[in-house]
Amino acid sequence: MRRAVSPVLFAGLFIATSASGQEVPLKRVTIFSSGVAFYERAGHVDGTATMELPFKTAQINDILKSMVLQDMGGGKIRPVVYAPKDPIEKTLRSFGIDLTQDRTLGEFLGDLRGTPVEITVRGDSKPIEGSVLSVERQIVIMEDKEVPHDVLNVACAEGIRAFRLTELSGVRLADPKLNGELFKALGVLAGSHDADKKPVILEFAGEGKREVRVSYILEAPIWKTSYRLILDGEKPFLQGWATVDNTTDEDWIGVDLTLVSGRPISFVQDLYQPLYIPRPVVQPEIYASLGPQQYEGAMFDSDGDGILADAADAVEREMPSRMKTARRAAPADNRGGFGAGFGGAAPAASPAPVASLDYVTMESSVESIAAAAEAGEMFTYAIQTPVTLPRQKSAMMPIVNQSVAGEKYSIYSQSVHAKHPLNGLRLENTTDLNLMQGPITVFEDGTYAGDAQLPDVTPGEKRLISYSLDLKREVERVSKAEPEVLTSVRIAKGTLIATRKYVEEYTFNVKNKDDAVRAVLLEHPFRADWTLVTPKDPFERTPQVYRFKVDAKPNETTSLTVREERQGDQYIALSSSGLDTIEFYIRAKVVSPKVREALEKVAQMRNELGNTQARKNQQTQRVAQITADQGRVRENLKTVREGTELHERYLKKLTEQENELDEANRLIAQYTQQEQQQKEALDQYLLNLNIE
């Protein structure tokens, strides 16, 4: 028998309890830097216990995707029950009593025709049993006015009796099942008034007193970090604070809080919305025709062994015996002064686990468990003492409080400021902590020096930060490009490949107006197709820039020259390039004798081909000219009388032109054939031409 649920509110904290007062309060919160948080409740139950947890409607999808229930005493987990997301009208129509509309009592009773009821009349304590026959509207004259009254007609053992609804003190449905449907529908209506809250009902079935746990993932604000960096001591001192927001609807009272630096993949899938698949309507047939058959794959193979069972066994063999969580913590630094005044301790040496999901217990308390592989690495900060944080409040907690390694530099980048570098620090993470990205407030010489932005820094990693403009140093960047130089020429399958060297120089002039030597880092763009010649080795290189170190002497100007070279190839088709281009490379000094000889041969063949094409074009033009002149002569013949001297002269002219046309066409054919032969010879020569 299930026990009633009795929610208890204490100082705004909802604690799931059963009627016997068995509590499962919030014990552990783990906040990830990916926008989710892990919540774990733990408590004790005795026997079979049912409890209720309220969640916002927007959180139900995460609950359905991530909730884990554990009965540590060998009990079993019953199905988790929750209100569906169907529209309220659809849910109400599923009950035997229609409460989809707001109606009068008369209208409500009118829908219950034939339903057994017990009626109590005012002044009569004995109920009257019968069945609803109808509800009718009657008009009664009162003080010369027509007043409508609803009258309930009931079929009783004594006959049909009529009762004005105003005379009744009570109506009860005699059918227990229908009466239960009424109260269920009323419960749905009551729950719909707070549309943003949905109850999730849990049940642990077992015997005796035992521990149970409830854990789940919900969307949560990411925890943020901010740092304070003091540069006055022998070593830079770093203090880190974590900002945590409790945006839930319950207070955190004495919870174990763990902050996780990592990027686990998290997403929302709509599991809450019921899905309905449209089904086809099939008309009945007297004789069903046979149609093509489709057969599913076998569950077992030919020797009777279960294929799916074998796969399940393989998964079970690969499954770890217990889920493990890697934990690291920041060692406490008892340094006094600025750091000690904040009153916060670093994370404990043995922090609480990120999520205490016991595999063995889960296997025994839940019938079916899906195994998941561990992915990625996460770094945890476990707060040493239990945390109490009221609902809708935020808090800052110290997580780093120790010295780090670092060197001061002036950092120059022309894209940041063309004249002055920035004051900066090359910070080395000598802690054993992952420093999450966040702002750094820098203090120097006992006062505020500026702000910086720290990216994610792993233990042992070095990163530059800058926090103010360095007005004591000036940098001038002068560029100079040398003329390109032809370094080599080669031929591959008729293509001339000319290699050229391009050289660029950049000179950085650093003026130090201070009385002390200053280390300056000069940033210069890194280009993958350029080779650094000088300096040979940069101070460091990132995917985007080189960094060169210069020790700027006091009250002097120190210079550094950066020289880069690039080799570039130009491809020239010898079959179609201009002869002047070929002549240029024949005269080039870097061209080898074999390449020069081949180019001379190509030039000769190209000249011969060009001469043939010129002769052919000359004859083609002559044909066009003669044809045009013949047209003029024929027009003149039409105007001259036959037998005259002029007529004879025109005829003779046409005869001579016809002879010239025959000769020109013969030459065109000859030159065309010669041109084709020369082209084929040139193409064949170029195709086989490969000279380094």
d(CA 615, CA 344): 98
d(CA 377, CA 261): 9
The tokens of 42 are what?
């733990």
Q: Is the pLDDT of residue 377 over 80?
A: no
The tokens of 622 are what?
């002559």
Annotate 472-483 with b (16+ C-beta within 10 A) or e (fewer).
bbbbeeeeeeee
3-class state of residue 397 by DSSP:
strand
d(CA 5, CA 18): 5
Residue 578's nearest CA partner among 552, 606, 620 is: 606
What band does 440 get if pLDDT is binned at 50, 70 and 90? very high
Residue 130's nearest CA partner among 177, 178, 162, 104 is: 162
DSSP single-letter state for residue 174: S
d(CA 668, CA 616): 5
What is the radius of gyration, based on Cα positions, of the chain? 47
d(CA 590, CA 348): 72
Whole-number percent of the chain with pLDDT over 70: 77
Sequence-ordered list of residues with C-beta below 8 angstroms from that of 366, at least 6 positions apart, any chain:
69, 76, 77
The tokens of 661 are what?
């046309």
Q: Express each pLDDT in 228-252 by its tens digit.
A: 999 987 889 999 999 999 998 889 9
The tokens of 502 are what?
């391009």
Q: Is the pLDDT of residue 380 over 90?
A: no
Q: Is the pLDDT of residue 417 over 90?
A: yes
Q: Note the pLDDT of residue 95.
A: 66
Q: Express each pLDDT in 470-521 by its tens digit.
A: 999 999 999 998 899 999 999 998 899 999 999 999 999 999 999 999 999 9
Domain 99-188 belongs in CATH node 1.20.120.450: no
Sequence-ordered list of residues with C-beta below 8 angstroms from that of 376, at least 6 positions apart, any chain:
262, 263, 264
| Domain residue spans of the chain | 99-188, 473-573, 583-691
For residue 612, the tally of other CB atoms under 10 A from its CB is: 20
| Amino acid making up residue 674 | Q
Q: Note the pLDDT of residue 514.
A: 93
Q: Is the pLDDT of residue 550 over 80?
A: yes
The tokens of 117 are what?
């009821």
The tokens of 243 are what?
């900002």
What does 197-249 look like in DSSP terms, one character per residue?
EEEEEEEEE-SSEEEEEEEEEEE-PPPEEEEEEE-SSSS-EEEEEEEEEE-SS
- Work out the average pLDDT over 99-115: 77
- Residue that has been written with the tokens 């005869």 in this structure: 655
Q: Note the pLDDT of residue 373.
A: 23
Q: Note the pLDDT of residue 12.
A: 32
Query: Helix, strand, coil % (nearest 5) of the chain?
Result: 25, 40, 35
Considering only residues 268 and 208, tell me which one the structure prediction assigns the higher pLDDT.
208
